[in-house]
Structures are given as C-alpha cells and as structure tokens.
Amino acid sequence: MSNKRGIFITFEGGEGVGKSTHILLLAWHLQSAGLEVLTIREPGGTRISEEIRSILLSKENTELDPTAELLLYEAARAQLVTQVIEPALKQGVVVLCDRYTDSTLAYQGFARGLGTPLVEQANKLGSKGLVPDRTIFLTHDAKEALDRATENGADRLEAEGLDFHARVIAGFEQLAKSEPKRIRVVQSRAEKQDTAHAVFDQVKDLFEELSEKEFEITEQMLGLAKEMHS
C-alpha cells in the first residue's frame, strides 16, 4: 500500500475500437514496473452496477427513455466511485477504467440529444466530482469498428445503427478538442503493438516508474488479450 494517491486513467471511444485490449496491455506494463493496477468497466464493477448494466444493455429494453438511461448510468457510476474507485485511489492503486463520464456526454448528451449542460450536471452528481487524471480517446473508422463490435451479435446500444454511432464519435471529437490536456487522441491501428505504444506515449508522464525501453508487447500478450475478450 502506498501513501501516494493513485492515478485514474479512463479509456473512451466508440464500439469496437479496442479499449478493453489496450487497458489490459497497459495494465500488464504498469504491473511489470511494480505498480498495483485495478482494471474496471462502466457501467459495472460492483454487484449493483453490474445489475444496472444488464438493464442498460438488454436488447429487450428498447422503450428505455433517454433521461432514464442517463440516470441509470449515473447510479451505476456513483456506486462504482464510492465502492471501488475512490478507495483504490486512496490506497495508491492505478485505476484503469473502460468508459466514464465522457462516454455519457458522447452517448446521452450528443447522440441522444439530451445536451451537454444537463449531462455535465448529472456527471458531477454520479462521479461525485472525481475527474480522470488522463483520458485516452481511441478512434477508428466508425463503420469498421461497429462491424467488428457486432460480429457476434449486438447489445441495445450497439444495435442503434451507424448514424447514432457517428454522432457518438463526433461528440468524443468535440470533447477532445475542448480538453486537450486531459483527453489524448490515439488512432486505433491494425497493428496493436503500434496502438499500445501510442497509448503509452500519452500516459508515461504520469509515472516516474515507467521506462520506455522496457515497454514491449509480445505476440503472446496479444494472444492472451484476444482470448480474454473474445
């Protein structure tokens, strides 16, 4: 356990851009440098948050109102921040989170049309004011990424269609332009090693322990990452 507060990094982007893979690859490198790392996802990460996730992503819930959807995301987030993220940061743990408040702005604020001011207010409540130290926005061709994400079936949000997801990406792009110091744009490339190194370049200033010379993504690591997320 460290007396130093941990570091909170979030990964954002549309469907199928490789967030979970690159969270895992970065986590392995941080752990190899002797850091304690926690990987989590939104919505989820606690029993209650996972139950809310099942409601949000179920294809049966097509009648879910956009405002109700927003509030469910914030409820899941509040539980996760209180129960998992804040305690981990206080113990000096590095927390890597698959989606956070920027996703809510992109999906509910921009794509659903609820608007930035309303969603920002909701985010402050759900996040309890906790802002990431760094955010990686992974970007890729929207159609290609969506096709990849849905090749084995689509959840409720993935099934919204290309126009919806194009608005999501446009929302992320606008957010990245508004907060370039926190949100770093990384192109998700075909060669995962290249993307992983690009992610590393955007977070290495947060860690004294990291050495670029030691950052190596092996074929075995890529294979394990693919198996874990297949």
Q: Specify the pTM.
A: 0.90
For residues 45-52, give the mean pLDDT. 98
Greatest mean pLDDT among 15-19, 39-43, 155-159, 219-223 lies in: 39-43
pLDDT of 155 reads: 81
Position 230 pLDDT exceeds 70: no
pLDDT grade for 203, boundaries at 50, 70 and 90: very high
Position 134 pLDDT exceeds 90: yes
pLDDT of 16 reads: 79
Centroid of chain to Cα 95: 11
Distances (CA, A) of 202 to 4, 58, 125, 196, 214: 21, 34, 28, 10, 16
Position 34 pLDDT exceeds 50: yes
Tokens of 72: 């469910």
Tokens of 139: 């970007």
Q: Name which of 183, 173, 165 is nearest 111 in CA terms.
A: 165
Position 214 pLDDT exceeds 70: no
Domain range annotation of the chain = 8-225
Contact of 66 with 113, CB cutoff 8 Å: yes
Beta bridge partners of 185: 137
Position 1 pLDDT exceeds 70: no
Distances (CA, A) of 198 to 81, 99, 202, 209: 28, 19, 7, 18
∠ CA 28-32-33, nearest 5°, is 120
Tokens of 152: 């084995």
Peptide bond into 132 cis (omega under 30): no
| Gyration radius of the chain over CA positions | 17
**Neighbouring C-beta atoms of residue 187, cutoff 10 Å:** 12
Position 229 pLDDT exceeds 70: no
Contact of 106 with 156, CB cutoff 8 Å: no
The reply to whether CATH 3.40.50.300 applies to domain 8-225 is yes
